[in-house]
Structure 1
Amino acid sequence: MACVLATAFLVPVAAQAADEVNPDPWAGFNRPVFKFNDTVDTYTLKPLAQGYQKITPQFVQDGVHNFFQNIGDVTNLANDIFQAKPRAAGIDTARLIFNTTFGLLGVIDVGTKMGLQRNDEDFGQTLGYWGVSSGPYLVLPFFGPSTVRDAFAKYPDTYTAPYRYVNDVPVRNTAFGINLLDTRANLLSSEKLINGDRYTFVRNAFLQNREFKVKDGQVKDDF
């Protein structure tokens, strides 16, 4: 599914892990789940994303992407506060205000044009920020790569997402589906970066990306 690749291409990734501790003690469980997710993606979400990208004008795709990014800024803001980051909270508050009003509910990303760079926070990062260990790597059915910490942290983040508060089931499901489709479509061009064993590449990319995010980019350079 989209989440299998969603975090795999955001930071430079080493081809081989240099971990002193086994990063994947549950590989016997994770690999079959990864294969299941990849198969589902190959025959459902990926073709839909390719069709969406092919027939939808770029300005419409940009508007849809911006709209859901604006909604996601609520989660960013909440976790800025949980992590006691006043500057980041101020930036994400300003982004929400300007994008929701002048940006027509976020369809136009005026915040970025004003120099307000979007933060990317979630409750898993908040737990990591306060010293909670990630635990073993874990691949979740449909949700993709995670860790024990991040898997449990997904639930609190649902309280800052809009879907919980939409009572109309068709509207809620449609919004969720479009968001998922947008996410997958934005990853199509990144797949060419995968080399070697697909499972290992995605695992290493995910773990390095999560460390990068939790430490706000303050990670040791292995090169």
Structure 2
Amino acid sequence: MNGDRVAARWCAGRNWLLAVLAAGLMAGCASGPTANPKDPLEPFNREVFKINDDFDKGVLRPVAELYTDFIPSPIRTGIDNAFSNVSDVYSAVNNLLQGKPARAVEDTMRVAMNSVLGLGGLIDIATPAGLPKYKEDFGQTLGVWGVPAGPYLVLPLFGPSSVRDTAGMLVDRQIDPSAYLDPVWLRNSLFGVRVVNTRASLLGASGLIEMAALDKYAFLRDAYLQRREYQIYDGNPPESDDTAPADEPSDTRQENQTLPTPPVQMPGGIRFGR
């Protein structure tokens, strides 16, 4: 039965991915080329982005604000720590797949320490003890293996991604222990809490972007792509060929500067392993 359940979950995820990619490719073919070569599906992506943004403003953000108002900070911190403890599981797997055994061992030690001494992960014991927190996912693993990112892709509800990272999300979901919880209502409830809790943690950052970005879509796209490259190369990405030299106009150089990490998109842009 468990094998059939896993197979069914893989098939459902695969069909969802194919549907999103097919819709994006059809939209891209119909709309023609765009200014950014990394975003050939921009017209389609902007439409999905607008739907996500409207959902965030109308539903998710108000719920996150209520959550912040009524749930005490210590409880929210405990929820953060518990989900972070789960993410260390697939971070360990991905570090191992990336050929980083030392990091994989540290992730495993974090899980053991926080699960046993930290009351199931509610208290982060490992970080004060000197064990660093890594955030590795299968999209990064594919990047380390040399798989190209492919076109930038905005996913319904999940937000900024790429073809490679979308495939990685499906794999990370299978590694996530919470994906196998029964009954179903408990699994779905935990996912809902994860979404709202993540969105609540980004309330301040999203407000800053609203004020700072003239084109929020382009800002989040460029920030996401730079952040993913930064993560894949562990903070030392290779120099890009399109980096502006020092004698270029200042506004051009500003466009090429590293952008801050954006708040993750809808619903909260939940990414397994991030």
Q: Which residue is equivalent to 1:39?
A: 54
SS at match of 1:111: coil
Separation (CA, whole Å) in 2 of partners of 1:101 and 1:181? 26
**SS of aligned partner of 2:67:** helix
- The aligned residue for residue 122 of structure 1 is 137
Q: CA deviation at 1:159?
A: 1.5
What is the CA–CA distance in structure 2 between the aligned matches of 1:21 and 1:59, rounded to whole Å?
43
Q: Distance in 1 between matches of 2:183 and 2:127?
A: 32
Asked whether 1:202 is paired with 2:220, we answer yes
Aligned to 1:135: 150
Which of 66, 69, 78 aligns to 1:63? It is 78
Structure 2 Cα separation of the partners of residues 87 and 214 of structure 1:
17
Q: CA RMSD in A?
A: 1.4
- For 1:90-135, what per-residue CA distance to the aligned partner results, in whole angstroms no more than 9, with x for missing partners? 1101100100000001100000011111100000000000100001
Identify which of 141, 162, 166 aligns with 2:181. 166
**2:227 counterpart of 1:212:** no
CA deviations on 1:19-52 (whole Å, 9 max, x unpaired) are x962211101100000001111111111111111
5+ residue gaps, structure 2, are 1-34, 240-255, 258-274
Alpha-carbon distance in 2 for matches of 1:164, 1:59: 26
1:201 partner letter: F
Name the SS of the counterpart of 2:126 in structure 1: helix
Question: In structure 2, what is the Cα distance between the partners aligned to 1:21 and 1:187?
Answer: 27
Residue 45 of structure 2, aligned match among 3, 8, 30: 30
Displacement of 1:220 after TM fit?
Answer: 4.9
C-alpha separation in 2, matches of 1:21 and 1:196: 17
Amino acid at match of 1:209: R
Q: Provide the C-alpha distance between the structure 1 equivalents of 2:65 and 2:202, rounded to a whole number of angstroms.
A: 10
Query: Distance between the aligned counterparts of 1:33 and 1:204, measured in 2?
Result: 17
Question: What amino acid maps onto 2:71 in structure 1?
Answer: T
2:91 to 76, 83, 87: 76
User: Greater relative contact order (Cα 8 A, min sep 6): structure 1 or 2?
Assistant: 1
- Of structures 1 and 2, the larger Rg is shown by 2
**How many residue pairs get matched?**
204
Separation in 2, partners of 1:159, 1:63: 24
What secondary structure is seen at the aligned counterpart in 2 of 1:113? coil
Superposition TM-score, scaled by structure 2 size? 0.72
- Give the gaps of 5 or more residues in structure 1: 1-19
1: CA distance between counterparts of 2:36 and 2:192?
38
Q: What is the percentage of aligned positions where both structures have the same residue?
A: 44
